[in-house]
Amino acid sequence: MDTSRRGLFGLGALLAFAGTAHAAEIKADDLLFTLPVTTLPIVGSKQRFPVRRIYCIGRNYPAHAKEMGSDPRKEPPFFFEKPTDAVQYVAPGTVGDHPYPSLTHMYQHEIELVAFLKSGGVNIPVEKALDHVFGYTVGLDMTRRDLQHLLENQKKPWEIGKSFDHAAPMGPIHPVSAIGQKTKGSISLAVNGNIKQQADLSDMTWSVAEQIAHLSTAFELKAGDIIYSGTPKGPSTVVKGDLLVGKIEGLPDLSIRIV
């Protein structure tokens, strides 16, 4: 790779995401302005992971499904998206300052395993789905719950309840080549030291593999896509000053303070 191409790496990645067949012909000078590409560090590598899309599954841990005798898999999984610039990277061993967002009086945490795709496709079979996963991290799907419920009741999109700035705190990516697939292990979230959410990754109604398979029937998945894989019961309302610590067995903690 010559130096001029390397210098344009960020721009090249941006243009590739634009999906134009002429991307290679567009120079920086052709653009009115340039935009940053959201990227995340990869543990054990100097390379970074460029983020293409952020998919999130809804309601994916059945709280009392067995006791209720109901089948949580009766209805297909459903998904929403967050914008890629909603990512707030928080390094392990640090506490990220997380700004309390506007408009809400019921701000809640959802602790989730996040999967990162290195490749994609359409109609991906479940048994091949995990081949597309590059790695995993701990993430928070931060939610303006009052607005989500209000919009839901009005049959309007969740957008401002889920897809606002800083709504996607997460740690660095741990490659599958180093840590293996994350199909089981404890997941929990504590607020000021009190456990609010606790489950096992194996409790998911739809596994990460099944989520990839389902998503690929609706969208062509591509390298750079990431998936928030759902949260256990117990999201609670937080206020300024609260310390949130998310844990997934085998990964470093994710810590933020609401400011």
Among 120, 135, 141, 208, binds Mn ion (CB under 5 A): 141
> Rounded to the nearest 5 degrees, what angle is found at the Cα of 155, between the Cα atoms of 151 and 157?
60
Per DSSP, what are the bridge partners of residue 56? Answer: 80, 228
The 3-state DSSP class for residue 87 equals strand
Q: Choose the binding region for Mn ion from 39-47, 135-143, 144-152, 210-218 (rule: CB under 5 A).
A: 135-143
Binding of residue 231 to Mn ion (CB under 5 A): yes
Binding of residue 242 to Mn ion (CB under 5 A): no
Give 207 or 231: the residue with its C-beta nearer to Mn ion: 231
Both tokens of 26, joined, read 């567009």
Binding of residue 188 to Mn ion (CB under 5 A): no
Both tokens of 83, joined, read 């914008």
Binding of residue 55 to Mn ion (CB under 5 A): no
Number of residues located near Mn ion, criterion CB under 5 A: 3
Q: Choose the binding region for Mn ion from 29-37, 92-100, 134-142, 171-179 (rule: CB under 5 A).
A: 134-142
DSSP string, 224-235: TEEEE----S--
The 3-state DSSP class for residue 205 equals coil
Minimum CB–partner distance for residue 186 and Mn ion (Å): 18
| Residue 171 CB coordination number (10 Å) | 27
Q: Choose the binding region for Mn ion from 82-90, 124-132, 169-177, 230-238 (rule: CB under 5 A).
A: 230-238
What distance lies between CA 217 and its chain's CA centroid?
19
Give 175 or 230: the residue with its C-beta nearer to Mn ion: 230
* Residue numbers at the binding site for Mn ion (CB under 5 A): 110, 141, 231
